[in-house]
């Protein structure tokens, strides 16, 4: 049983994350492979009806409404930047409750790595700033994504169409001020909310860990380089691969693998996209990807 997901493009960071997110949202029997059709498209193995897939990922979306992640807040701001003591308390509460959220929280933030203001550093996929609050946007997507949006975004191509939030992971959706005649911050960006939601679920496969001599840096899987100069590097693979194996693969630096190593791992291609950060505020976006 397999199903081609013709709406997703493996060279787009958001779409790659959306495909990986299916392995988090769906049953353990699901696996993903990629096929080069001029564009790298994913195939989902373990299901052959799109409505069956939508049923599974929509149940996961509904269940996520009770996640401790969506309750994160500090001084009225629903974002990932918290005082270390609150991060510690959050982890202690989740562990005491036996919640499944503990592993996801380890991917999102750390009580050890802090910024210049003494707040916890978030995952490297935190591209929001200012009035864009990461957890608030995540909650809006959880509440607002419909079955129709999930189905449309998995099997249809085309431009963004929804007013639901975008996490700015679409490499075709960046609007650098230097390339425009007007201020892009005043333009409401549209999104593909089904892909945004599934890409957020993929964060559970991408742990973040303190690094550096003082442990003051936070490194996130798939991302390399310092803040403001980082790049995302990711592989696509040609054989059906399940969640556990994909999670292990995404911890590797795919760019550094030799030709023989890539062949052994059945990698069809490796892509890399730069991360732009605004000079003020820290808003992030991806540059178009290239094969490496």
Q: What are phi and psi of 105, to 5 degrees?
A: -60, -35
Question: Higher pLDDT residue, 222 or 213?
Answer: 222
Work out the pLDDT band at 180, boundaries 50, 70, 90: very low
* Pairing, β 120-122 against β 208-211: unpaired
94 CB-near residues (< 8 Å, 6+ apart): 68, 101, 102, 105
Does any domain span residue 83?
A: no
**Contact between residue 50 and residue 44 where contact means Cβ atoms under 8 Å apart:** no
| Structural tokens at position 224 | 């390399």
Question: Higher pLDDT residue, 278 or 235?
Answer: 235
% of the chain residues with pLDDT over 70: 94
Count of structural domains, the chain: 1
Which residues share a beta bridge with 271?
A: 234, 291
Work out the pLDDT band at 176, boundaries 50, 70, 90: very low
CA atoms of 235 and 51, how far apart (whole Å): 28
**Residue in 210, 264, 202, 211 with CA at minimum distance from that of residue 234:** 202
CA atoms of 59 and 136, how far apart (whole Å): 21
**Residue in 17, 251, 246, 207 with CA at minimum distance from that of residue 107:** 207
Does any domain span residue 105?
A: no
Work out the pLDDT band at 214, boundaries 50, 70, 90: confident
The structure tokens 């559970």 sit at 204
* Structural domain boundaries enclosing 214: 2-67+125-291
Does any domain span residue 56?
A: yes
% of the chain residues with pLDDT over 90: 84
pLDDT the model gives residue 58: 98
Calculate ∠ Cα 135-144-157, nearest 5°.
105
- Span 117-136, mean pLDDT? 94
Does any domain span residue 76?
A: no
**pTM of the predicted model as reported, rounded to 2 decimal places:** 0.94
Work out the pLDDT band at 237, boundaries 50, 70, 90: very high
The structure tokens 């790595």 sit at 113
- Span 90-105, mean pLDDT? 90
**Residue in 140, 106, 108 with CA at minimum distance from that of residue 125:** 108
Across the chain, mean pLDDT equals 93
- Span 264-283, mean pLDDT? 90
Does any domain span residue 108?
A: no
- Span 114-129, mean pLDDT? 93
The span from the first CA to the last CA of the chain, in angstroms, equals 32
Q: Using one digit for the tens of pLDDT, what is the confidence trace for 32-88?
A: 999 999 999 999 999 999 999 999 999 999 999 999 999 999 999 999 999 999 999
Neighbours of 202 (CB within 10 A): 25
Distance of CA 10 to the CA centre of its chain: 13
Q: Using one digit for the tens of pLDDT, what is the confidence trace for 251-271?
A: 999 999 999 999 999 999 999
pLDDT the model gives residue 279: 75
């Amino acid at each position: 049983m397999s199903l081609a997901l013709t709406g997703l493009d493996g060279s787009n960071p958001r779409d790659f994350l959306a495909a990986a997110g299916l392995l988090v949202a769906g049953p353990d029997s699901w696996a993903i492979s990629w096929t080069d059709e001029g564009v790298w498209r994913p195939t989902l193995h373990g299901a052959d009806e799109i409505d069956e897939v939508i049923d599974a990922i929509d149940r996961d979306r509904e269940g996520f409404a009770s996640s401790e992640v969506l309750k994160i807040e500090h001084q009225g701001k629903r974002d990932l930047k918290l005082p270390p003591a609150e991060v510690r308390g959050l982890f202690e509460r989740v562990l005491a409750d036996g919640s499944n959220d503990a592993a996801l929280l380890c991917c999102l933030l750390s009580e050890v790595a802090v910024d210049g203001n003494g707040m916890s550093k978030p995952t490297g996929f935190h591209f929001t700033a200012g009035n864009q609050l990461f957890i608030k946007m995540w909650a809006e997507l959880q509440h607002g994504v419909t079955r129709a949006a999930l189905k449309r975004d998995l099997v249809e191509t085309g431009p963004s169409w929804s007013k639901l939030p975008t996490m700015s992971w679409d490499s075709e959706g960046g609007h650098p001020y230097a390339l425009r005649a007007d201020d892009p911050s005043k333009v409401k960006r549209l999104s593909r909310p089904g892909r945004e939601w599934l890409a957020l679920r993929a964060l559970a496969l991408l742990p973040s860990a303190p690094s550096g001599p003082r442990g003051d840096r936070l490194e996130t899987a798939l991302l390399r380089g310092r803040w403001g100069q980082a790049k995302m590097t990711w592989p696509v693979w040609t054989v059906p691969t399940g969640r556990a194996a994909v999670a292990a693969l995404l911890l590797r630096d795919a760019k550094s693998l030799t030709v023989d190593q890539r062949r052994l791992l059945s990698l069809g291609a490796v892509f890399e996209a730069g991360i732009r950060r605004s000079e003020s505020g820290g808003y992030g976006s991806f540059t178009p990807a290239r094969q490496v």
